[in-house]
Homo-oligomer: A and B are copies of this chain.
Amino acid sequence: MAVYTEVTEAALRGFLADYELGELVALRGIAEGVENSNFALQTTGGSYILTLYEKRVDPAELPWFLGLMRHLAAQGLSCPLPVAGRDGVALRQLAGRPAAICTFLPGNWPRRVRPEHCAPLGAALATLHSAGEGFRAERPNGLGPRSWTPLLERCRDGGDAVQPGLIAELDGHLSGILADWPVGLPRGHIHADLFPDNVFFLEDARGSPRVSGLIDFYFACTDTLAYDLAICLNAWCFEQDFSFNVTKARAMIGAYQALRPLSEAEIEALPVLCRGAALRFLLTRLFDWTNTPPGAMVTRKDPLEYLKRLRFHAGAKDASAYGL
Binding site for B on A (CB under 8 A): 1-3, 6-9, 12-13, 24-32, 40, 42, 47, 104-108, 110-112, 200-203, 209, 294, 297, 299-300
- Additional A-B contacts beyond A8-B112, A9-B111, A42-B106 (12; CB < 8 A): A1-B31, A1-B299, A7-B111, A9-B108, A9-B110, A9-B201, A9-B203, A26-B200, A28-B32, A30-B30, A30-B31, A31-B31
Distance in Å from the Cβ of A168 to the closest Cβ of chain B? 25
A189 to chain B, nearest CB (A): 26
9 CB < 8 A contacts A-B: A1-B1, A2-B31, A9-B110, A9-B111, A12-B108, A26-B106, A26-B107, A27-B108, A40-B40
The residue in chain B whose Cβ has the minimal distance to the Cβ of A110 is B9
| A104 contacts across to B, CB distance below 8 A | 26
Q: How far is the CA of A7 from the CA of B209 in the complex (A)?
A: 15
In the complex, what distance in Å separates the CA atom of A26 from the CA atom of B110? 12
A30 surroundings in chain B (CB, below 8 A): 28-31, 40
Q: How far is the CA of A49 from the CA of B105 in the complex (A)?
A: 18
The complex is assembled from copies of this chain, and their number is 2
A200 to B104, CA, bound (A): 22
A40 to chain B, nearest CB (A): 6
Q: Is the CB of B108 within 8 A of A26?
A: yes
Which residues of B sit under 8 angstroms from A105, Cβ to Cβ? Answer: 26
Q: Which residues of B contact A106 (CB under 8 A)?
A: 25-26, 42
Q: Do A297 and B299 have beta carbons less than 8 Å apart?
A: yes
Chain B residue, CB-CB nearest to A27: B108
Nearest B residue (CB) for A297: B299
Residue of B nearest to A207 (CB): B13
- Who on chain B is nearest to A212 by CB? B26
Contact check, A110 vs B8: say whether CB atoms are below 8 A apart: yes
Question: How far, in Å, is A12 (CB) from chain B's closest CB?
Answer: 7
Residues of B with C-beta under 8 A to A42: 47, 106
On chain B, the residues within 8 Å of A29 by CB distance are 30-32
Question: Looking at the complex, which one of B26, B28, B111, B200 makes contact with A8 (CB distance below 8 Å)?
Answer: B111
- Residues from chain B with Cβ under 8 Å of A2 in the complex: 31
Q: Tell me the bound Cα distance from A40 to B297 in angstroms.
A: 23
User: Which B residues lie within 8 Å of A202 (CB)?
Assistant: 24-25
Asked if A24 contacts B108 (CB within 8 A), the reply is yes
| Distance in Å: Cβ of A214 to nearest Cβ of chain B | 14
Task: Find out whether the CB atom of B12 lies under 8 angstroms from the CB atom of A28.
Answer: no
Q: List chain B residues, Cβ under 8 A from A9.
A: 108, 110-111, 201, 203, 209
Q: Which residues of chain B come closer than 8 Å to A40, judged between CB atoms? A: 28, 30, 40
